[in-house]
Amino acid sequence: MSYLKTAILLAGLTGLFMGVGYLIGGASGAMIALVIAAATNLFAYWNSDRMVLSMYGAHEVDRNSAPDLVHLVAELAGRAGLPMPRVFVMDEAQPNAFATGRNPENAAVAVTTGLMQQLSREELAGVIAHELAHVKNHDTLLMTITATIAGAISMLAQFGMFFGGNRDNNHGPGIIGSIAMMILAPLGAMLVQMAISRTREYAADDLGARICGQPMWLASALSKIANAAHQVPNMEAERNPATAHMFIINPLSGHGMDNLFTTHPSTENRIAALQQLAAEMGAGGGAPSLDAGRNYPRRGAWGRPASRGPWG
């Protein structure tokens, strides 16, 4: 049902894009819109991961520079049946994380230094498992496509305002229709984009909890990250709000209301779903501990303060 809902929403977003093109230029405008969508999505398919990682100043780490983090990602990727993704660290105080890449073979997981400093190892495992779930579900590509189409709709709507307003009603929307299109089309695209994002977050929570074997690890992490997002601004995300849906918790507003105007479901609802899953799995404990953690403390920033966190 989750995938069906996502497919319907994505089809609606594509239809909206072509509809804006039709209002501007009729049937030929719709075809031009379709070509633009194909071109932008092709570019995003090959370059989206590099673009967003560069945007956030993420630097790649390996087993030499951040052995504990890379070991943890490798173990969880193995549990998920995924190839080992590239691992990146962002020098950002707000605890948060995202995954990107066009497919599991070309995936990357990025975490902030704030995340590594404020979460226990178990909570960090829950977050990474959530991001790996996005990779396994191919959500990273899906969210790139929705963001690209939504951006193109806004571009076309503004194009229609400048070039459609001078046409008569037989060939274009007219000045009133152009103004309405410039306002309503991006709004509609934003709502669909957010609805898709929220649908995929629930699915990633569920699969991520199963990957790490402990739903309450992720639930605890979500609570901490949501609380910190209220207090610690992510200035790069504020400058690039279109990327907010990529993070595990909205880095912009921190609102808890589960409505159409949030990029993520309510944190309380997500935690409740994880609590229910934990009860179903009998996972108050349950799953075996992660091998890499047996020599580390269970809470805190691993007792090793550093300028970029305990991972190097």
CA pair distance 159, 139, nearest whole angstrom? 30
| Integer Cα distance of 162 and 167 in angstroms | 10
What amino acid occupies position 93? A
Alpha-carbon distance of 246 to 243, in angstroms, equals: 6
Residues forming the active site? 131
240, burial (CB in 10 Å: exposed 0-12, middle 13-18, buried 19+)? middle
DSSP β-bridge partners for residue 111: 89, 97
Question: CA 285, CA 302: separation in Å to the nearest integer?
Answer: 21
* Dist CA 90 CA 308 (whole Å): 9
Q: Are 86 and 63 in contact (CB under 8 A)?
A: no
207: three-class secondary structure by DSSP: helix
Q: For residues 169 and 305, what is the distance between their CA atoms, to the nearest angstrom?
A: 66
Q: Which residues of 66-86 are buried (b: 16+ CB within 10 A; e: fewer)?
A: bebbbebbebbbebbebeebb
State the CB neighbour count (10 A cutoff) for residue 64: 8
**Beta strands 59-61; 108-112: pairing state:** unpaired
User: Which of 270, 273, 233, 275 minimizes the C-alpha distance to 254?
Assistant: 233
What sign results for the dihedral spanned by CA atoms 33, 34, 35, 38? positive
